[in-house]
Amino acid sequence: MRPLAPSGAGVAVLAALGLSAAIAQAVLIREAMAALGGSELAWGAVLALWLAGMGLGSWVGARWPGPRLAALGPLVVLALAGLGAVLIRSAAFLTGAGVGETGTAWHGAWLWALAVLAPAVAGGWCFPAAAILLTPEGDAGLAYALESGGAMAGGLAFTFLLAPHGSAVSVCVAAGACGAAWLVARRMSWLAVLPLLAGLALAGPADRTLAHVGWRLSGRLGTLSDWRETRMERVELAAGRPSALYEDGRLAAVFPDPYGTAARAHLILLLHPHPDRVLVVGGVADGTFVTMLGHPVTRLLACEEDAELAAALPRWFGRSFSDALADTRLTVAVGDPLRVIRRGGSWDLIVLTDPDPTTLRRGRTRTLEFFQACASSLTPGGVFVVRVGVGDTYLGGGGGRLLAVLCATLRQVFPAVSAVPGEEVLLVASRAAGGFAIDPITLLTRWRGLGVRDPDFDPGVLPVLLDPGRAVPLGDFLRGTNAPVNTATHPRAVLLAAALHEARGAPPILTAARALEGRSPSPLAACLVVIVAILVVRGAGGAALGIEAGAVVGFASMGWWLLLLACWQGTMGSVYGEVGALSAAFMAGAVGGAVVGRRWLAPTERPLACVVGAGALISLVIATGAPLEFPRTTIVPLLLLGGGLTGAAFPAVSALAGRRAARVGAGRGFAADEAGAAAAALVAGLLVVPWAGIPAGGAMIAILQVGTAGALVVAARHRHG
């Protein structure tokens, strides 16, 4: 008997569900990151909550599906995500953050749960219900393929079309598209334009309302003058003079700032005897380059990663800023710092004033590999300066440890390393002994010889800025501290910098981070061995292991995703410009894999064991470090293969989880997959990468997969002989 053809209504609902879930998830992650200053702690926490909510909803939907209501599921998901965005914008007010401060993930945990779980549970519940709309039996493999295809479309649409227009616009337009798709599936195409027009009409007013309400609830001083939702961050400008610029809720710059930014820029240029050619990373938005152009430099290259912010700054900061941009000696390089450095050059002075490595994205300019690339671009007597956003007044805590790790990393590249004390320490390095001077007399002599005129800067403050009395104990501390090196493979500084930010909300987090940073990650491997042993025992006892295998498949797929994105970010630069294409590669693999698994793989333990075991090969490739060595030729193929194996496993997972009951299996299998992915978002994203490193993370996932494959074989022998 031929299987029933899938209904148009079921196809439309599942595709719309994937699209709405992808956009809702992206909106909430972006909102939470902005609320926490771009912290990946928010990313991991929200993604884990989202996946856990999807799993819970799917489990409930397997028991009480309600297919008639499933058609409204995608719209409900988007509506609840919009309410969640409003709630997250209120984070500073609701968590009691100080004026101008961003919140912390610890204080905002309850808020993330309220904002994220409701739309996630609605989306998870809709999946098994929509599978019944597809066919009366509930075709789990086809349902997974359709939902993955919708998610692929949603990820691409958000990254390349909707993200620059903000959360409110994304939700409204996506809701209009879902409504139109439903009407087309119901053969009412002539009405489909109405929800699209309604979504577009509501988008603009909703965006303005959300921006101003969020600003008022943030507790920041002044009124909101203008804002941008770029592909990388949310930037907001406070009205008044001087101009105050906020990036992801964090005060990023004040312009003009003669007593802070300008004084630091003068000091940095004086560290080199004749800095003709200067490269500065992160010195555009705060106006560092404006001060540097007052010196007799012949070429100044200023790197700004956010193209849309760079385009807005001249209008926001006024004529003095615009006039400096017109200087023929200046070039503003818009793009990722890794790519700017790799273009080569011969620089007398390279300066990193960009933020501390509180995230993997920010941490890529504080790695050994990046320092080596900078060193190769310096002239023989060149000087390298790194700003660190911690002070030298207390070096016994996490701030001192972060300084020690970055200093140890610099010493792997530069023979001469020293430090300038202050509220923000400057680490100064050179490949030549005596390549720089940090004593006040030498710097005063250089200032007088330059003939620079700046009415807002008194060179008499140089002894205060250098403060030899504080420089001596700072230097002794850095020389006497044994610290590990920060690399792209093992980004130790990220754990410390992120914990320093979180310490405002929960000091024990910093204590825990310090303890982890100094210990071997062997407890993680021990936990994996225990989990594998439990799976083998359950298989030997006759358990079907469908739910367990689904959780492992979800954990591995999310683990691959996180590790490969970390590899891309550490080698090719920020993933924000390419994340849509990378996501599409994984989801395209999932669609193809689900189709293959549905048609040609028997839904039993042995084929599932082969799929899980094959996935271990992907994990081992990651463990070898190949994605870090050959990112262009390995990362995208591995994402495609990973998505394909994830999709191929789902029909067997759902069959075993539901004991051949298709509807129950679709719900339980999807729930197990999402729960495993949620665990990976927390464990791999927030713990494994910064503590154990990328290769170790790949090896641990391989251990889990090989053990699970073995447990499935044991279960098959016990159940089928």
In tens, the pLDDT along 102-140 reads 555 566 667 778 889 999 999 988 888 887 777 666 577
Q: Given 191, 215, 248, which residue is the final one in a domain?
A: 248
Grade residue 512 by pLDDT with cuts at 50, 70 and 90: low
Q: Of 229, 248, 267, at which residue does a domain stop?
A: 248
Which residues are CB-contacts of 578 (< 8 A; sequence separation ≥ 6)? 568, 572
Is pLDDT of 100 > 70? no
Continuous segment of H or E residues that includes residue 457: none
Higher per-residue confidence, 35 vs 3 = 35
Q: Tell me the pLDDT of the chain averaged across its residues.
A: 85
- Give the residue numbers spanning the domain of 485: 257-490
Average pLDDT over residues 180-189: 79
pLDDT at residue 516 tops 70: no
More confident residue, 384 or 308: 384
The tally of domains found in the chain comes to 3
Q: Say if residue 581 is in the same domain as residue 486.
A: no
Same domain? For 231 and 210 the reply is yes
Query: Could you tell me which of 116, 153, 110, 211 has the C-alpha nearest to residue 12?
Result: 153
User: In the prediction, which pLDDT does 11 show?
Assistant: 83
432 with 325, same domain? yes
The confidence band for 568, taking pLDDT boundaries of 50, 70 and 90, is confident
Helix, strand or coil, per DSSP, at residue 415: coil
CA atoms within 13 A on the CB side of 551: 16
Tell me what pLDDT residue 3 has.
44
Residue 202 lies in a domain: yes
Q: Which residue has the higher pLDDT, 101 or 144?
A: 144
Q: Residue 426 forms beta bridges with which residues?
A: 387, 420
> Is 513 a domain residue?
no
Last residue of a domain, one of 446, 472, 490: 490
Flag whether pLDDT at 246 surpasses 80: yes
Higher-pLDDT residue of 574 and 261 is 261
Band (pLDDT 50/70/90 cuts) for residue 2 is very low
- Per-residue pLDDT of 459-471, as tens digits, reads 889 998 888 889 9
- Write the CATH number for 622: 1.20.1250
8-35 helix and 109-134 helix, angle to the nearest 10 degrees: 170
Percent of the chain with pLDDT over 70: 89
514: pLDDT confidence band, cut at 50, 70 and 90? Answer: low
Query: Tell me: the pLDDT tens digits for 36-70?
Result: 655 555 666 777 788 888 888 888 887 776 666 77
Segment holding 41, helix H or strand E: helix 40-63
477 is a domain residue:
yes
Rg (CA), the chain: 27
What is the mean predicted confidence (pLDDT) over 504-530? 68
Q: Does the structure show a pLDDT above 60 at 319?
A: yes
Residues 172 and 268 grouped into a single domain: no
| φ and ψ at residue 353, rounded to 5 degrees | -110, 5
Q: Give the tens place of pLDDT for each residue, 685-705.
A: 667 777 788 898 999 999 999
User: Do 318 and 242 share a structural domain?
Assistant: no
Which amino acid appears at position 408 of this protein? A
Q: Taking residues 497-520, what's their average pLDDT?
A: 61
Q: Render pLDDT for 12-32 as a digit per residue (tens, 0 to 9).
A: 888 899 999 989 988 888 787
Write the DSSP assignment of 640-696 as a string of letters.
Answer: HHHHHHHHHHHHHHHHHHHTT-HHHHHHHHHHHHHHHHHHHHHHIIIIIIIII-HHH
Assess whether 466 and 439 both reside in one domain. yes
**Domain shared by 579 and 642, yes or no:** yes
Residues 363 and 424 in one domain: yes
Same domain, 244 and 143: yes
**Residue 318 is part of a domain; what is its CATH number?**
3.40.50.150
Q: What is the mean pLDDT of residues 161-190?
A: 86
Q: Once rounded to an integer, what is the mean pLDDT over residues 511-516? A: 60
Q: Average pLDDT for residues 307-332, to the nearest whole number?
A: 92
Question: What's the whole-number mean pLDDT along residues 582-602?
Answer: 85
Average of per-residue pLDDT across 430-453: 87
Band the pLDDT of 517: cuts 50, 70, 90. low
User: Quick check: is 510 in a domain?
Assistant: no
Give mean pLDDT, residues 613-621: 96
Query: In angstroms, rounded to a whole number, what is the distance separating the alpha carbons of residues 134 and 560?
Result: 30
Give the whole-angstrom CA distance, residue 415 versus residue 398. Answer: 25
Q: CA-CA distance, 86 to 209, in Å (whole number)?
A: 10
More confident residue, 577 or 159: 159
pLDDT recorded at residue 577: 56
Query: Is 183 in the same domain as 240?
Result: yes
Q: Please compute the mean of the pLDDT values over residues 489-494 and round it to a whole number.
A: 84
Whether 578 and 711 share a structural domain: yes
- Note whether residue 504 is domain-resident: no
Q: What is the pLDDT of residue 316?
A: 93
Residue 62 lies in a domain: yes
Residue 288 in any domain: the answer is yes
Confidence band of 4 (pLDDT split at 50, 70, 90) = very low
DSSP string, 602-656: -SSHHHHHHHHHHHHHHHHHHHTTHHHHSHHHHHHHHHHHHHHHHHHHHHHHHHH
* Rounded percentage of the chain residues whose pLDDT exceeds 90: 37
> For residue 429, what is the enclosing H or E element?
strand 425-430
- Better-scored residue on pLDDT, 50 or 10: 50
- On whether residue 501 sits in a domain, the answer given is no
Q: Are residues 360 and 415 in the same domain?
A: yes
In the prediction, which pLDDT does 6 show?
56
In this prediction, residue 299 has a pLDDT band, given cuts at 50, 70 and 90, of: very high
